[in-house]
A and B are shown apart, each in its own frame.
Chain A
Amino acid sequence: MDWGALHTILGGVNKHSTSIGKIWLTVLFIFRIMILVVAAERVWGDEQDDFVCNTLQPGCKNVCYDTFFPISHIRLWALQLIFVSTPALLVAMHVAYRRHEKKRQFRKGDQKCEYKDIEEIRRQRFRIEGSLWWTYTSSIFFRLLFEAVFMYAFYFMYDGFQMPRLMKCNAWPCPNTVDCFVSRPTEKTVFTIFMIAVSSICILLNVAELCYLLTKFFLRRSKKAGNPKHHPNHENKEETKQNEMNELISDSCQNAVIGFSS
């Protein structure tokens, strides 16, 4: 059980996302999770061992470390990534529920059911409309909320995004104000800024997706009011090709993530 498993769980959602949603998922896995696993974890790996205070007083280092790092950057990012990925599961559950209903209709032998077999129901991609639109939009809203909350928590806890070289500590049992030195401050600052930048890109992608969905919703409403006819089959073929390409890309990404994380 690791990040690769999360990718498997979310990979299914990819099929039912918009194009911007697919880009967001790719950015999430390549520029955030993969960077966290292959690079950032090594940079923060020795953080307490190499945190050095200019005192021999036992316990002073532990207490100063705990004062300046209530929760490590790396753990905060891991939690952020988990929380930000989870709203997509709402969409996955809704799709699974719809599939379950269609399978039930098919088994009852409903005349209205347009599928030839169960496999077609399993493979079918649902359009983002009706109640699925509301679920999808709520999931994007929650994603945005979690991203913003975690970025604010980060900024609030660490007084900005820069890692200082030196911290002055006078918590008990340190006998007086003691100099404590953080290990690899510049490298940590670089990675912090990188992760914040990618978070911001993800926020922009989510906002763009939200605007796209709202625009589509209002356009569809005005179209329905004007002209009720439309041709779904032609659009579906192009979307199926796009889906196959995206699945090939996401499969190769999944193998890369599993390879790096194992």
Chain B
Amino acid sequence: MSWGFLRDLLSGVNKYSTGIGRIWVAVVFIFRLLVYIVAAENIWKYEHDEFECNIKQPGCENVCFDHFFPVSHIRLWALQLIMVSTPSLLVVFHVAYRENREKQHNQKLYKSPGEIDGGLLCTYLISLILKTGFEIVFLVLFYKLYNGFEVPRLVKCDIRPCPNTVDCYISKPTEKMIFLYFLVATSCLCIVLNLSELSYLIFKYSIKCYLKRYIKKHQ
């Protein structure tokens, strides 16, 4: 079980997405998942070993690291990727439910089980809202936990058992900051794509509804 599993799941979602949805899948695969695996993971790999405090007091480094990094950036990033990809599964489940229903009743109930209309449209819109919601929640969480998206070189720590205020140095702060900004930029891009898809679908189906009513009126 690894990221390949998520990749296979999302490839299934691609089939039932709109054009903008497919661009979103491509952005998530290439600019978020691939960058995470080939670059970002290695930067944070030895973050605890390389975190150094100007003190010999045993336990002080551990306590300070735990205070400044309650959840590591890289784990938050991974959680964000998983949470943001999962709402798309709602659409896959709904399509599977439709196909199952057609099989059970042994007749064609829908024009095409994968066509985005009726109940599937609601599911699709809900999945878009959830995706956007999760993106925003994680960005706010990052901002609140780490006081912005900056990674300082030096943090001052005075928690027991550190005997006084001690200087602690974070490893590779500039590289971590660059990749955090990259994460924020791709998150914002995905939020923009989700909102455009939402507006596009609402607009398309309102026009369809309006035209249907207009034709009925004049018949």
**Given known A-B contacts A59-B154, A93-B22, A66 and B34 have beta carbons under 8 A apart:** no
B37 touches A2 (CB 8 A): yes
A62 touches B50 (CB 8 A): yes
Q: How far is the CA of A82 from the CA of B171 in the complex (A)?
A: 25
Mask for B170-213, Cβ within 8 A of A = 1, else 0? Answer: 11111100110000000000000000000000000000000000
**Contact partner of A62 among B2, B3, B35, B171, CB < 8 A?**
B171
A1 touches B6 (CB 8 A): yes
- Closest chain-B Cβ to A103's Cβ sits at a distance in Å of 13
B52: A residues at CB distance < 8 A: 58-59, 61-62
B214 within 8 A of A: no
**Contact partner of B30 among A57, A62, A71, A86, CB < 8 A?**
A86
- Stretch of B38-46, B92-100, B130-138 that contacts chain A: B38-46
Most B CB contacts (10 A, CB to CB) among A58, A65, A69, A89 go to: A58
**Given known A-B contacts A3-B38, A59-B167, A62-B50, A71 and B175 have beta carbons under 8 A apart:** yes
A78 touches B39 (CB 8 A): yes
A74: B residues at CB distance < 8 A: 39, 42
B169 touches A6 (CB 8 A): no
Mask for A41-84, Cβ within 8 A of B = 1, else 0? Answer: 00000001100000001110111011001111011001100100
Q: Which of B11-61 contact A (CB under 8 A)?
A: 19, 22-23, 26, 29-31, 33-35, 37-39, 42-43, 46, 50, 52-55
Q: How far is the CA of A97 from the CA of B22 in the complex (A)?
A: 11
Mask for A1-45, Cβ within 8 A of B = 1, else 0? Answer: 111011001000000000000000000000000000000000000
B101 within 8 A of A: no
A69: B residues at CB distance < 8 A: 172, 175
A65: B residues at CB distance < 8 A: 171-172
A62 touches B169 (CB 8 A): yes
Q: How far is the CA of A44 from the CA of B39 in the complex (A)?
A: 12
**Given known A-B contacts A59-B54, A62-B153, A6 and B30 have beta carbons under 8 A apart:** yes
- Closest chain-A Cβ to B79's Cβ sits at a distance in Å of 16
B23: A residues at CB distance < 8 A: 93
- Closest chain-B Cβ to A195's Cβ sits at a distance in Å of 15
- Closest chain-B Cβ to A257's Cβ sits at a distance in Å of 13
A86: B residues at CB distance < 8 A: 30-31
Q: How far is the CA of A89 from the CA of B53 in the complex (A)?
A: 46
B34 touches A62 (CB 8 A): no
A173 within 8 A of B: yes
B54 touches A173 (CB 8 A): yes
Nearest CB in chain A to that of B177: its residue:
A70
Nearest CB in chain B to that of A97: its residue:
B19
Q: How far is the CA of A59 from the CA of B166 in the complex (A)?
A: 11
B118: A residues at CB distance < 8 A: none
12 A-B pairs in the complex with CB atoms less than 8 angstroms apart? A1-B2, A1-B3, A1-B33, A5-B34, A58-B55, A59-B169, A62-B52, A66-B174, A75-B43, A79-B35, A86-B31, A93-B23
B residues in contact (CB < 8 Å) with A: 2-4, 6-7, 19, 22-23, 26, 29-31, 33-35, 37-39, 42-43, 46, 50, 52-55, 153-154, 167-175, 178-179
A residues in contact (CB < 8 Å) with B: 1-3, 5-6, 9, 48-49, 57-59, 61-63, 65-66, 69-72, 74-75, 78-79, 82, 86, 89, 93, 97, 173
